[in-house]
């Protein structure tokens, strides 16, 4: 039914969103900025440039480089002991190993950092293709990340199944003409564009007909 499966990464494969948001709150507090949890939730699933724009709207003029340095340092401390997978991710990857289905990752993280996260989670070897934020001119919610991944896999967008956690990613995959499974992490879906919504990735795979 599908020739390829394309995954989002943070919050979908890797349990990194909570850590990233806590790290951001810590970095902002160190610089004297007290922002509510709801604001950090609004950053989930978006690229760094859009995130910076939202921060500037909230904080005005701030030292972006210093905040980024503190935020990244906090993340690295938290991830030093390894990165956990989201529920049942390993189970699905094991099943895909025995299926004739190509796979790739399309993420809003920078490519180098994304590969490092996959390495920290112990699943880097399970992917040959990764499209990061710096690999495209228009990041999610534009369809380019998913279209580029499909092109690298040499498959038609219509033959791809996408797994996403965020509304931003769902919009991107839907605009790319792909079938989309949303597995929410930090926030409940605010869009009805996903073809299926599931509590975990294995349930989503069954709903989409990827596995029996």
C-alpha 114/C-alpha 133 separation (Å) is 9
C-alpha 147/C-alpha 164 separation (Å) is 15
C-alpha 13/C-alpha 84 separation (Å) is 9
User: Which listed residue (10, 135, 167, 185) is catalytic?
Assistant: 10
Q: Which residue has the tokens 């009805």?
A: 192
Active site residue 10: yes
Active site residue 8: yes
Query: What is the four-CA torsion angle of 101, 97, 127, 154, rounded to 10 degrees?
Result: -20
C-alpha 51/C-alpha 40 separation (Å) is 9
Supply the residues annotated as catalytic. Answer: 8, 10
């Amino acid at each position: 039914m599908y020739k390829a499966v394309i995954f989002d990464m943070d919050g979908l494969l890797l349990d990194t969103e909570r850590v990233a948001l806590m790290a951001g709150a810590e970095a902002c507090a160190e610089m004297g900025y007290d922002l509510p949890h709801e604001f950090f939730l609004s950053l989930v699933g978006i690229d760094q440039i859009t995130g910076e724009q939202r921060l500037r709207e909230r904080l005005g003029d701030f030292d972006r480089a210093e905040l980024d340095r503190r935020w990244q340092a906090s993340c690295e401390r938290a991830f030093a002991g390894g990165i956990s997978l989201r529920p049942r991710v390993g189970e699905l990857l094991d099943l895909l190993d025995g299926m004739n289905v190509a796979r790739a990752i399309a993420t809003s993280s920078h490519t180098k950092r994304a590969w490092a996260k996959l390495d920290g989670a112990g699943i880097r070897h399970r992917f040959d293709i990764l499209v990061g934020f710096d690999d495209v001119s228009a990041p999610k919610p534009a369809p380019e990340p998913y279209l580029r991944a499909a092109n690298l896999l040499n498959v038609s967008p219509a033959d791809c199944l996408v797994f996403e956690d965020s509304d931003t990613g769902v919009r991107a995959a839907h605009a790319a003409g792909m079938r989309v499974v949303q597995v929410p992490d930090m926030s409940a879906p605010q869009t009805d564009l996903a073809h299926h919504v599931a509590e975990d990735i294995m349930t989503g795979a069954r709903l989409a007909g990827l596995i029996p």
